[in-house]
Structure 1
């Protein structure tokens, strides 16, 4: 979506060239991609400098560019090509996003958490988009670069903007929330992701709660009420709504009924029955965060029910895939922490109709000095009715160690260093009685094994 050039000019120190001929501009940061009427924003990192690719950007549709003052201007640049000279292009990009957000003034819903933020974002969008003109974070554009790009790509008539916010260090969520100024903030849970940088789960909780530093006055914070580290939050500055399974939560989940394609559940308030067509009991809680946000936006119960029923999730989140020989593959490969891995394994245990339940588990990263113990802790839930445990990678082998040491007679346990080494063995396990779960950190790309073992396209929920 294009932005007004006045938003850009607001950040300019000086304009070189004929900037008066510009109208609406589409942000581009990748000079290789074709863009109509583009504003090229050359970003600078440790190993790259986008300023070197201005001429390529012009070939692919750039009509103007931001430009750091200290960078030399290419001699081949057309004399009438507008450059908006700024001190720092990333800072200018972030300032443009803030200005555009202030101009459009949508309601902002921000989601963070160690696990489940993308799924929750998708659930909120599925509900909200039935009533309002909504826009959500695309892919994983959830950091100090991706979030402003998300804001700048939203249509100008957006009424509700749903932003995913990621972090791995203190201070990052303060910055993101103060840029976006959410009306509603959601913290899905506190796991172990990024504990390497944050020291402890208490440190992770503290970093996640930075989300409230940009929360609008009289805004609402929705939290996992089952998490003691979040239950300690007390303030009069904003409303706190606790969701979860504990009966003392503001929204307490009751009457959960599990099926082959998802869950039906009720809440302690009202008589409505909700359906969420996705596997994983933890996703019931994500659905409650989403419907709570929808209620704060005054969306009626029937639209909430319909939105959840017609949910479409981002790929690789407990995605069902038809495997060879009539098997079922569960692609949960987007990322992993000990908490999310254990939750996925609990779901694997209760899927009805399978004799072979195979867990394919791999390395998890950013777990700090306790990474070995945290990997080994996953073995605590690796019990019947799971029948096979296959680990991939050096860290993944730590998951298998306690099982091998205990000599678990009811489990077949094997470890492989590389994905390719495991492929043939995994294929030999697949038949109509097999469900096979794949879970590891993103860097391991276990979805490559899913693709190798799949028979057709993903199964629709």
Structure 2
């Protein structure tokens, strides 16, 4: 980023120190971060107050700071160190992001959904970056603090910015959408994530549709046309993607293996290729293709972008396991919808006789969490051969598979460390293993251990 400090001062109640002749070239909320010529944003939480660390921020390169009105100023802070005094530093951060968006004027793409936000964001970037200078949300910077920080970290020459929008409660997506004012808004799907706070899938759909609140008048809404809870959303500026014939973009001629999928779009002559597992990711790719069409990117460039896609980690990520096995790390997070989709992706693999799913607890599912865990068992059928479940909640999945008397080996473990031997016993060159659970369980550490075993075996 690049902003003159006096531009930032436009949002201030008042200022302290010298605000002229300074140029901000970065922004940080972490006083420990070394960032020359940065604006420091002190965030005040229930258990901490970033204002206490302004001197550390200054030592690490900050040349100015936002400052909440009424907060005592440290006596040893130099008198000429610029403070932009505001009512609330988070609101001020959001206002600065708006100012910077209006200055740079990129095409803004907002992405939300219960599952697949990050994968879709990565696919859109892969397509758009073939033609435009592109910036996207990094990591989980997708909330009321992370999104403005993402905006303020983009280069002045950015032509397209891709903003992931997450939420736990009603009103949060609306705030982000109004802040970003997207030209394109995408809803990947409606699942069960955060149903504890939103009450029902209908509530989740309502919350996700808040992305329309800030959509520019000339903007386009792209959504999952196969989702019944979104099928009432009809307008000239709505484009639906999916497998149903009623969609604006209907997926056809899909073929796949363990390396990815080829597919087409009804009415087009192009065959696209996606180097990823999972039919659900083909639908995510159609959102990226729709964005490419909106931006008048050539089909050949869209295809080239998808072919060279670089995904954020732990999204159906493949590793070679012991004895030539294939390990699939989809352990970043989980909901019933995403877990069922990942299981389906493993079922689609043709070259493995033994298909093992290692599943664990899913969180934030509310009072119906047991029923939602048990519902996953309906997706576990042949050619799945083994189910290894971990955790108190994950146990419900295994119990339900047993109850349904499916011809599948079921093993139940309280903690992931105890599951390692059972997983090891299944590994051969005919075995594929999926790892899937909520973030809190960190199932990927099992894979990390196996990778160390491979390294030791190779010595």
| TM class by smaller structure | over 0.9
Equivalent positions of 1:29-428 (< 5 A) are 29-235=29-235, 239-408=237-406, 410-428=407-425
Question: Separation in 1 of the partners of 2:136 and 2:73?
Answer: 36
C-alpha distance in structure 2 between counterparts of 1:390 and 1:164, whole Å? 33
Greater alpha carbon shift after TM alignment, 250-259 vs 415-424: 415-424
Which TM-score applies when normalising by structure 1?
A: 0.96
Give the secondary-structure state (helix, strand or coil) at the position aligned to 2:11.
coil
Q: Quick check: 2:27–2:40 contact (8 Å CA) kept in 1?
A: yes
In 2: Cα distance, 1:147 partner to 1:69 partner: 24
CA distance in 2, matches of 1:350, 1:25: 48
**C-alpha contact (below 8 Å) 2:24/2:39 kept by paired residues:** no
Distance 1:367 1:406 in 2: 23
The 3-state SS of whatever aligns with 2:254 is strand
| Cα deviation, residue 66, structure 1 | 0.7
CA distance in 2, matches of 1:305, 1:350: 23
Partner residue, 2:431: 434
Q: Secondary structure at the match of 1:27?
A: strand
Q: Is the deviation greater in 351-360 or in 142-151?
A: 351-360
CA distance in 2, matches of 1:15, 1:6: 10
Q: Give 1:38 deviation, angstroms.
A: 1.5
Between the aligned partners of 1:14 and 1:380, the Cα distance in structure 2 is 61
Distance 1:54 1:117 in 2: 34
Give how far 1:313 is off: 0.5
Q: Is the 8 Å Cα contact of residues 5 and 20 (structure 2) preserved in structure 1?
A: no
Between the aligned partners of 1:299 and 1:103, the Cα distance in structure 2 is 25
Aligned counterpart, 2:11 = 11
1:19 aligns to what SS in structure 2? Answer: coil
Alpha-carbon distance in structure 1 between the residues aligned to 2:87 and 2:173: 24
Distance 2:298 2:146 in 1: 32
1:130 CA displacement? 0.8
Using the TM superposition, give the Cα deviation of residue 428 of structure 1 relative to its aligned residue in structure 2, in angstroms.
2.3
CA contact (8 A) 2:226 2:244 kept: yes
Question: What is the CA–CA distance in structure 2 between the aligned matches of 1:399 and 1:421, rounded to whole Å?
Answer: 17
Runs of 4+ more than 2 Å apart: 1-4, 404-408, 454-457
2:443 matched residue in structure 1: 446
Residues 77-118 of structure 1: per-residue CA shift (max 9 Å, x gap): 112111111111101000000010011111111110011111
CA–CA distance in structure 1, aligned partners of residues 418 and 6 of structure 2: 57
Cα drift, residue 427 of structure 1: 2.0
The CA deviation at 1:412 is 1.1
CA contact (8 A) 2:147 2:176 kept: yes
Q: How far apart are the structure 2 equivalents of 1:391 and 1:154? A: 42
Q: Is the 8 A contact 1:2 1:27 kept in 2?
A: no
Match of 1:20, SS state, is: coil
Deviation at 1:297, TM superposition (A): 0.8
8 A Cα contact 2:262 2:273, kept in partner: yes
List alignment gaps of at least 5 residues for structure 1.
Answer: none
Secondary structure at the aligned position of 2:39 is classed as strand
Name the SS of the counterpart of 1:79 in structure 2. coil
* CA offset digits 1:193-238 (Å, max 9, x no partner): 11111111111111111100100002110111111110101346xx
Contiguous gaps of at least 5 residues in structure 2: none
TM-score, with length taken from structure 2? 0.97
Q: CA deviation at 1:127?
A: 0.7
Post-superposition shift, 1:361?
A: 0.4
Q: Aligned partners of 2:336, 2:277: CA distance in 1, in Å?
A: 18
CA contact (8 A) 1:3 1:152 kept: no
Residues of 1 paired with 2:14 and 2:206: CA distance? 41
CA RMSD for the aligned pairs?
A: 1.3
- Deviation at residue 418 of structure 1 after TM alignment: 1.0
